[in-house]
Amino acid sequence: MKLRTLKIGQVIITPKMSLSLIGALLVLGMGIGATAASYNNSQFALLICLIISVTIIAKTFYKKQKN
């Protein structure tokens, strides 16, 4: 499967960006799964995975693109 560049409004999402967004969703899903599987429903894993996901997304969109 070949990924293509998407344009949504003024945002251009390249294939590398879409792969990093899929990775961020995967990390967030692991945090939700770890929270659901924990003994006393601790939300520590969800918080850590949420911070990691937001960092990935911020780095993806605020990184300067080379022309």
Domain ranges of the chain: 12-62
64 has pLDDT over 70? no
**What secondary structure letter does DSSP report for 39?**
T
Tally Cβ neighbours within 10 Å of residue 21: 16
Task: Please tell me the pTM assigned to this model.
Answer: 0.79
Report H helices in 1-67.
Answer: 15-37, 44-62
The residues with which 12 forms a beta bridge, in sequence order, are 7
Write out pLDDT tens, residues 1-47.
688 888 888 888 888 888 999 999 999 999 999 998 988 878 888 99
Return the pLDDT at 66: 54
